[in-house]
A and B are shown apart, each in its own frame.
Chain A
Amino acid sequence: MRDIIKMIIVLTIIGAVSGLALSLVYEGTKAPIEYQTIKFVKEPAVKKVLTGYDNDPIADRKKIRIGEDERGKPVELIIFPAKKAGATFAVALEGKGKGFAGLIGVMVGVSKEGKLLDIGITSHSETPGIGARVSETFFTERFKGLTTDREITVDGISGATYSSKGVMSAVNQAIGYVNKFSKEIF
């Protein structure tokens, strides 16, 4: 009996102390983690696809409601606007498409005139050396200057058809949002 009580007490103490320590570390790292996520995932892609702005697209980001999920919670889309003298002339936003291994996130820059400025891959889990090549410039620059009033298609990378198609569907999803919510976006 004494053994059992001792076991319970020791395990309880170890569990409680660990829990306390973890909650402290979590509180301490919460803000840096949020900052890092935007800085490393979104900011480089936003900077790549937008040029010639005089504002800070990250600080000026806005959220628009694009629908509701099955629980009735609003689904929001983050828009990074590029402004010159206070007027938005282009936006960057993220679209997702199914690649060879999971979703590919693509940051897409679209100008007010409906031209595709550039794209940047934000997240993917494609095969290194094969599908992962979609994030290289030689592929992403194929999207530059296309018009957004019709569905975008470019030549895929041979050997990485699924990944190339995933990027295209991500771009088309983002363009679809821009066309559908253009009033709120610009």
Chain B
Amino acid sequence: MSITDEFTKGLWQTIPPFRLVLGLCPTLAVTTSGINGMGMGLATTFVLVFSNLFVSLLRRFIPSQVRIASFIVIIASFVVIVELVMQAYFYPLFKILGIFIPLIVVNCIILGRAEAFASKNNPVASLADGLGIGLGFTISLFVLGCIRELLGSGTLLDIPVMWSGFEPFTFMLKPPGAFVALGILLAAMNLISQMQARKGGGR
């Protein structure tokens, strides 16, 4: 696969969390608004890109018996860096995302990409893979956040957009609402894929 393919596969073919269905914990928990989703996505992207890069650079030096431990140390370091930098420069977002920033350490997307991709491929491809998957994750969280924000609080990126008599259904801001929104998005994506497959002359 070319570098462009490595990058673009994360945006549709294997877009997390919809296609890989990984990293659902932050996906469901923090997407109460578009901005929150995007912040979480970008923080994850940062960690993913750098952990992919370093795992790939070090892949020949790390003995396979201790690779998982090494990956976790690398990932955890970048997570703490993200946490400190966010606290220092994006404090309001840091407050909202709260515990889900340190929990990026155990996000299976990141460890999954380190294990399945970066430890077997060269740094450039790993960088492209991390960037693609990370942006895919960011877009997913942003879209999910926008839908929940629109229905749950009647705003879009903190700007009221619904008509004046609109009564927000706060259900969408709660965990069950997250599952419902995720389910509907998954169904929509599967429908689109199916239609694409039919257009392309069946399976």
Which residue numbers of A lie inside 8 Å of B, CB to CB? 3, 6-7, 10-11, 14-15, 18, 21-22, 25-26, 29, 32-33, 36-37, 39-40, 127-130
Contact = CB atoms under 8 A, between A and B. Distances in A.
26 contacts: A3-B65, A7-B63, A7-B66, A10-B62, A10-B63, A11-B69, A11-B73, A14-B58, A14-B62, A18-B77, A21-B77, A25-B80, A25-B81, A26-B84, A29-B87, A32-B88, A32-B89, A33-B87, A33-B88, A36-B89, A37-B91, A40-B91, A40-B95, A128-B32, A128-B170, A129-B173
Interface residues of B, number: 29
Contacts of B77: 18, 21-22
B153 interface: yes
Given A10-B62, A14-B74, A18-B73, A29 B85 contact: yes
Nearest to A35: B88
Interface of B: 32, 58, 61-63, 65-66, 69-70, 73-74, 76-77, 80-81, 84-85, 87-89, 91-92, 95, 152-153, 168, 170, 173-174
In order of increasing CB-CB distance, the 4 nearest A-B pairs are A129-B170, A32-B88, A29-B88, A18-B77
A129 B167 CA distance: 12
Contacts of A40: 91-92, 95
Contacts of A127: 174
Contact of B84 (A10, A29, A37): A29
A25 B91 contact: no
A128 B173 contact: yes
Nearest to B66: A7
Nearest to B169: A129
Q: Is the interface of B mostly helix, strand, loop or mixed?
A: helix
A11 B65 CA distance: 11
A18 B74 contact: yes
Nearest to A36: B91
Nearest to B90: A36
Given A40-B95, A128-B173, A129-B170, A14 B152 contact: no
A142 to B, nearest CB: 22
A127 B84 CA distance: 26
B89 A15 contact: no
Contacts of A3: 63, 65
A134 B63 CA distance: 55
A52 B62 CA distance: 64
A155 to B, nearest CB: 21
Nearest to B63: A7
Given A7-B65, A14-B70, A40-B91, 19 more contacts: A3-B63, A7-B66, A10-B70, A11-B69, A14-B58, A14-B62, A14-B73, A18-B73, A18-B74, A21-B77, A22-B81, A33-B87, A36-B88, A36-B89, A37-B91, A40-B92, A129-B152, A129-B174, A130-B170
